[in-house]
A and B are shown apart, each in its own frame.
Chain A
Amino acid sequence: DAGITQSPRHKVTETGTPVTLRCHQTENHRYMYWYRQDPGHGLRLIHYSYGVKDTDKGEVSDGYSVSRSKTEDFLLTLESATSSQTSVYFCATIGTPGRGNTIYFGEGSWLTVV
């Protein structure tokens, strides 16, 4: 257990509204990730971070932005939510690369855009 908490865990929002999901970790892990999971698509990388204020895009970054102002927090923002962004969102971290490269996942955030 890497002490990763996501908030909110469940949210229903309306199309066009901004939404921010928060990932908080207590392990001082350098690398953090946001994935979305949809049936038939597995886990798709949205954005990731390799340090404070250091972020990069993943394969499905359009419509999403991220920020990492502190090691422990990684925020995912949907600037203007669309129905296609209805999904389960997972935050993840890597502890020590090279030592098994274990990725630790949060419990997930279920987002519904209506």
Chain B
Amino acid sequence: DTGVSQNPRHKITKRGQNVTFRCDPISEHNRLYWYRQTLGQGPEFLTYFQNEAQLEKSRLLSDRFSAERPKGSFSTLEIQRTEQGDSAMYLCASSLSTWGLAGGRYNEQFFGPGTRLTVL
């Protein structure tokens, strides 16, 4: 399977603990995005990487959230001192920014299965 993968798929933690999620994008994709989705809502943008550079970060993202993409391949999202309000599905997506290779579907995002976080 060459799609986007995310681990773990489910995470239950106690309030105040730190958690880290991993995303492995489609191998040739240079762009990677993190989103958060709560029940009944659309995905909410968290941050964006082009290769290893973090180019955009939501103002909604508090200092407790940090993301990395150290070698321009996989990415990690860490939440420190988790709160109950952090309970959500965390989605990762990747895309290819090259016009010629995208078959006209420029920057089409492919989503992973998500990591469901429950903070008790």
Decide whether A and B assemble into one complex.
no
